[in-house]
């Protein structure tokens, strides 16, 4: 059966089309309650379903939030997305999702698509980049966001401002104290580790990675320790895996236990996964820490030392939830950075049975 129209509802209720629209499509101009009730009864009788586009025009609101992340399969982004979804539910809105692999040009296309659909607000999560290859994409993304904000849109960005964006109205940044927290992690690790430190970081020019590297180096310096060597790789699990393969022989041949800081948890997971088949076990042969405290770590062994971030709160803040407190974090030291002891097994490797 064909869907009922607003004109049929108006005719059955004995009111004008404009009056029926004001009642059913959410206009701030409300007719008398007896008239409104007559319109609602007619709509129920006819099985009328309000048109979402018509409601958006009437209310200057679509009830949509656009969410842009680098990789929704990454537990870091999925946790932030969950927070955005919770805030949207409280606001009676729906979330549209775009996963862009971190390319600024793809983020610009997502912003344009959300703007075309009259999204009330847009949330962007993922490290900003000042690498040369991202310069053009950054400029186009900034221009698209400025245009969106001038037309009344609201933007929430996680971590750092969009490079080159000039909008001030309808634009806010959820600041994450990456540098300070990384310094705090280093300060706690030096108390338990006398050997050298090594940082596995993303490509130079990624703000989040660079902040964490800078903070960790500062923490070492404040403790009177020499700076850590830095290895640059992909800012993901695959990058960590590649770095782990490159480090395996070096760890096995060294007399000093290395303490590795991977600038996010998925990189730390990748490093550990690469070392294990090479016969390098954490924390027997080296120690490792990450950053973020993603949910996946609950099932990861050895338990990974990291910096806990309230990722769902970050998503809620970016989506405009006024009741969520500012972002803070806390260092979590776990099995992966413990020194082996004679009383406890040094690794999570299988123990051979004794004949």
Q: 111-143: per-residue pLDDT in tens?
A: 999 998 889 999 999 999 999 999 999 999 999
Please write the tens of the pLDDT for every residue from 220-278. Answer: 999 999 999 999 999 999 999 999 999 999 999 998 999 999 999 999 999 999 999 99
Q: Is 352 a residue whose pLDDT tops 70?
A: no
The Cα–Cα gap between 260 and 274 comes to 14
Between 32-46, 49-63, 233-247, 324-338, the lowest mean confidence (pLDDT) is in: 49-63
Q: Residue 298: pLDDT band by 50, 70, 90 thresholds?
A: very high
Between CA 123 and CA 172 the distance in angstroms is 10
- Does residue 42 sit in helix, strand or coil? helix
At a CB cut-off of 8 Å and minimum separation 6, what does 271 contact?
Answer: 200, 240, 241, 243, 244, 247, 260, 262, 288
Looking at residue 67, its pLDDT comes to 97
Quick one: pLDDT band at residue 291, thresholds 50, 70, 90?
Answer: very high
Q: What is the CA radius of gyration of the chain?
A: 26
Express each pLDDT in 152-165 by its tens digit.
Answer: 889 999 999 999 98
- What is the residue whose two structure tokens read 């806990």? 308
Closest CA to 25 of 43, 11, 8, 12: 43
* pLDDT tens string 149-200: 888 889 999 999 999 988 777 889 999 999 999 999 999 999 989 999 999 9
Average confidence (pLDDT) over 300-324:
95
Would you list the DSSP string of 222-246?
HTTPPPPEEEE--SSHHHHHHHHHH
Q: What pLDDT is recorded for position 208? A: 97
Residue 252, token pair as written in the block: 């096995």
Over 90: is that where the pLDDT of 28 sits?
A: no
User: What residue spans of 254-290 are helical by DSSP H?
Assistant: 265-275
Residue-level pLDDT at 8: 87
């Amino acid at each position: 059966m064909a869907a009922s129209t607003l004109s049929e509802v108006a005719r059955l209720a004995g009111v004008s089309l404009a009056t029926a629209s004001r009642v059913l499509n959410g206009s701030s101009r409300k007719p008398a309650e007896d008239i409104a009730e007559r319109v609602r009864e007619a709509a129920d009788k006819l099985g009328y379903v309000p048109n979402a586009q018509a409601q958006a025009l009437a209310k200057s609101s679509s009830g949509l939030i656009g969410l842009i992340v680098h990789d929704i399969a990454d537990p870091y982004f999925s946790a932030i997305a969950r927070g955005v979804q919770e805030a949207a539910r409280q606001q009676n809105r729906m979330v549209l999702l775009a996963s862009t692999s971190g390319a600024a040009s793809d983020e610009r296309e997502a912003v344009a698509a959300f703007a075309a659909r009259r999204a009330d607000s847009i949330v962007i999560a993922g490290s900003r980049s000042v690498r040369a290859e991202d310069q053009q994409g950054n400029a186009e993304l900034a221009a698209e966001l400025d245009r969106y904000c001038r037309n009344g849109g609201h933007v929430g960005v996680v971590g750092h401002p969009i490079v080159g964006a000039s909008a001030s109205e309808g634009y806010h940044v959820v600041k994450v104290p990456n540098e300070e927290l990384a310094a705090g992690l280093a300060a706690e690790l030096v108390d338990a580790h006398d050997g050298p430190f090594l940082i596995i970081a993303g490509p130079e020019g990624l703000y989040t990675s660079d902040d964490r590297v800078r903070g960790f180096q500062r923490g070492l310096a404040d403790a009177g320790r020499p700076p850590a060597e830095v290895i640059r790789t992909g800012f993901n699990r695959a990058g960590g895996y590649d770095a782990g393969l490159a480090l395996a022989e070096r760890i096995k041949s060294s007399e000093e236990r290395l303490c590795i800081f991977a600038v996010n948890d998925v990189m730390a997971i990748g490093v550990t996964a690469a070392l294990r088949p090479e016969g390098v076990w954490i924390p027997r042969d080296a120690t490792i820490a990450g950053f973020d405290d993603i949910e996946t770590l609950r099932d990861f062994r050895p338990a990974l030392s990291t910096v806990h971030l309230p990722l769902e709160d970050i998503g809620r803040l970016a989506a405009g939830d006024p009741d969520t407190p500012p972002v803070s974090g806390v260092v979590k030291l776990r099995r992966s950075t413990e020194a082996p002891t004679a009383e406890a097994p040094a690794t999570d490797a299988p123990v051979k049975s004794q004949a």
